[in-house]
Amino acid sequence: MRKAVWITGGSRGIGAACVRVFAAEGWRVAFTYRSSAAQAEKLAEETGALAVCADASDGAAVQAAYAQTCGRLGAPYALVCNAGIAEQKMFQDLTDADWQRMLDVNLLGTVRAVRAALPDMLHRKNGSIVTVSSMWGQYGASCESHYAASKAALIGLTKSLALELGPSGIRVNCVAPGVIDTDMNAMHSEQTMRELADETPLCRIGTAAEIADSILYLSSDRASFITGQVLGVTGGL
Type and span of the H or E element at 213: helix 208-219
- What is the DSSP-derived secondary structure letter of residue 206? B
Q: Which of 3, 140, 153, 24 is nearest to 81 (CA)?
A: 153
For 59, other C-beta atoms within 10 Å of its C-beta total 16
Measure Cα distances from 17 to 44, 88, 210 in Å: 12, 24, 9
Q: Tell me how far apart the alpha carbons of residues 62 and 176 are, in angstroms, rounded to a whole number.
A: 23
Q: At what angle do helices 13-24 and 208-219 cross, to 10 degrees?
A: 50
- Tell me, yes or no, if 147 is annotated catalytic: yes
Annotated catalytic residue: which of 33, 66, 77, 147? 147
Residues 7 and 20: beta-carbon distance below 8 Å: no
Report the amino acid identity of residue 103.
Answer: L
Known catalytic residues? 147
